Structure 1
Amino acid sequence: MQKILDENYYDFIIDNSMIPRYNTGDNITLLNDAHSLLHVSRSVMDVCDIGRTPYYAFPSIYTLASSASDEISANKTVENNTVYNLLGQCTLVGIVDTGIDYQHPAFRNADGSTRIVSLWDQTDQSGVSPKDFTFGTEYSKQQINAALLSNDTMSLVPTVDTNGHGTAIASIISGSIDTKIHLVELFPIANLLW
């Protein structure tokens, strides 16, 4: 198992110039030309030592934090003004969340094809990783379209959003106007964090 996926390791973002100092052969995951992840075993390092370790940046831990549908948004006045015609055409958005239900109508064109350019399932290690990455499986627009036309969709693109949060957020950001998913439909307001 790769260390980037192993919960027994801390992941530190470091400047690539620091790699020679820390590289033991299997503890670095290259991110880009400037930064990499340094994986340090939890058994070797106490969490209290984190502040004493030279690292470039400690990765932020992201969690679900949205509590209201876009109906509550202060942007409604602007969105509902038809003069502006704000439909986001020719806009590419990247979303990191719990996944996406790529079969949902919010992410389909009128002809049934996908509006998703690419899907990177970081929990699926069975396929081809995105260029310059060593983990997860990337599904292309062509693969998603083939799955949508198939009678066995999940055999071609076996990725799901069991939580629903990623699908809801993606639909608010980039779903088709008639099929946006409202967070309050997925989660009771009392269970959400703002």
Structure 2
Amino acid sequence: MDRETCRRMIMSEDFIDFIAPIYREITSEEAERARACVQSMDFGFQAIYVDKTLTDPVSLEYYRYNSIPNCYQLMDLEAMDEAGISVVQSYPTLNLQGNGVMVGILDTGIDYRNPLFQNIDGSTRIAGIWDQTIQDGPFPEGLDYGSEYTEEMINEALRSQNPLEVVPSMDTDGHGTFIASVAAGNADLEHRFIGAAPEATLAVVKLKPAKAYLKDFYVIRQDAKCFQENDIMLAMKYINDLARKRNMPLVLCIALGTNLGGHNGTSLLSNMLDAYSSVLNRSVVISAGNGAVHRHHFSRQLGSMDETVDAEIRVGEGVEGFVAELWTTVPNVMTVAFTSPSGERTGYITLKQG
């Protein structure tokens, strides 16, 4: 299957996305027959894009939980003084400024024209940008969607009268630029600011928005910003490949989070982050959750077989549906019942392992 066809499949709402281990490589002939596109990830995983008319609807009745990509939302970072970064930077004998290290940002993109990401001579400190949202530029190596803009192309853009004509990638949200500036922004004396690693090389991925069918599956508002697990995993592959080509240590900086999953490190993305962090000269930095005041979570330990516990779920006005996940440890099996505000009750629903 040619790359342009694969690109159209990956971006199309008529194709649904899955994550699966690579038991064996799928040949191009098999993919052609199945009207499917495959993208290889690191550590033995792959993203598979399948025509929705040729497969079962997205449901846990038909597919394993981890095979359906989770959706991740944007997170914020606190001040550098709170994190202790300023103290480490000013330690006289260490001189920890990030020189010779690559910092990978996968987020809403970056404003590459900002002087915070340029050298003294005006050249860029960005080794490459993979913009997953732009489909008319050059493919990244080994990936069949989005457009890659190299360091040379970014420098050409910075020398141009109209940089966006050369490199059209933009951060219209500002979150990715903010994260990149905190992680590796230059010193800005006027605003008394400096990033954690101001001499580091940057590698950037602008993530594409989650598809509408996946937002429907998780009952997420269509106007909400969220990103698919498979796009995040492929973004990490791109950044890791870039660091490997340059023979540089890599810090993956991820300011994304989700309320989905067991929060026990067993999601596919968690497993992949563990794998990266176990590789020599690879490190992973993840922002802490900032949703504590929203009270999205509830936990309770049941002491006996017959014990029950009540949990009130407050649903906003006009909300037509929501997703709630119930997690326990194996081999426990739980049942659940729902009671409406008017007293209607579903009766107990048995939850089966798997």
TM-score band, normalised by shorter chain: 0.7 to 0.9
Are 1:46 and 2:57 an aligned pair? yes
The residue that corresponds to 1:14 in the other structure is 20
Are 1:108 and 2:96 an aligned pair? no
Q: Contact conserved, 1:12 with 1:55, CA < 8 A, in 2?
A: no
Q: Name the stretch that deviates more: 98-107 or 170-179.
A: 170-179
Are 1:163 and 2:173 an aligned pair? yes
CA displacement, residues 15-55 of structure 1 (integer Å, 9 cap, x when unaligned): 232747x84443222224733212245565434x2364258
Alpha-carbon deviation of 1:175? 1.8
Partner Cα separation in structure 2 for residue 75 and residue 151 of structure 1: 37
Matches within 5 A, 1:38-187: 38-41=48-51, 44-47=55-58, 49-50=59-60, 52-54=62-64, 57-178=67-188, 180=194
Alpha-carbon deviation of 1:11? 1.4
The residue that corresponds to 1:2 in the other structure is 8
Q: Contact conserved, 2:182 with 2:194, CA < 8 A, in 1?
A: yes
CA displacement, residues 47-77 of structure 1 (integer Å, 9 cap, x when unaligned): 4x23642587443422211142334324343
Partner Cα separation in structure 1 for residue 61 and residue 179 of structure 2: 34
Alpha-carbon deviation of 1:173? 1.4
CA displacement, residues 80-99 of structure 1 (integer Å, 9 cap, x when unaligned): 33332110100012211000
Partner Cα separation in structure 2 for residue 6 and residue 64 of structure 1: 23
Gaps of at least 5 residues in structure 1 are 182-192
Q: Which has the larger radius of gyration?
A: 2
TM-score for both structures, normalised by structure 1: 0.79
CA displacement, residues 121-166 of structure 1 (integer Å, 9 cap, x when unaligned): 1111111110011111101111100110011111100110000000
The residue that corresponds to 1:26 in the other structure is 35
- The higher relative CO (CA closer than 8 Å, separation ≥ 6) is in 1
1:46 counterpart letter in structure 2: P
Partner Cα separation in structure 2 for residue 108 and residue 124 of structure 1: 23
Distance 1:172 1:107, change over 3 A: same
Alpha-carbon deviation of 1:168? 0.8
The count of residues paired between Structure 1 and Structure 2 equals 181
- Which of 35, 48, 53 lines up with 2:45 in the alignment? 35
TM-score for both structures, normalised by structure 2: 0.46
Partner Cα separation in structure 1 for residue 46 and residue 121 of structure 2: 41
Q: Contact conserved, 2:36 with 2:51, CA < 8 A, in 1?
A: no
The residue that corresponds to 2:217 in the other structure is none
Partner Cα separation in structure 1 for residue 45 and residue 129 of structure 2: 23
1:172 counterpart letter in structure 2: V
Q: Percent identity?
A: 35
1:2 counterpart letter in structure 2: R
Provide the secondary structure at the position in 2 that maps to 1:172: helix
CA displacement, residues 86-121 of structure 1 (integer Å, 9 cap, x when unaligned): 101000122110000000011100000000001111
Partner Cα separation in structure 2 for residue 174 and residue 107 of structure 1: 8
Provide the secondary structure at the position in 2 that maps to 1:10: strand
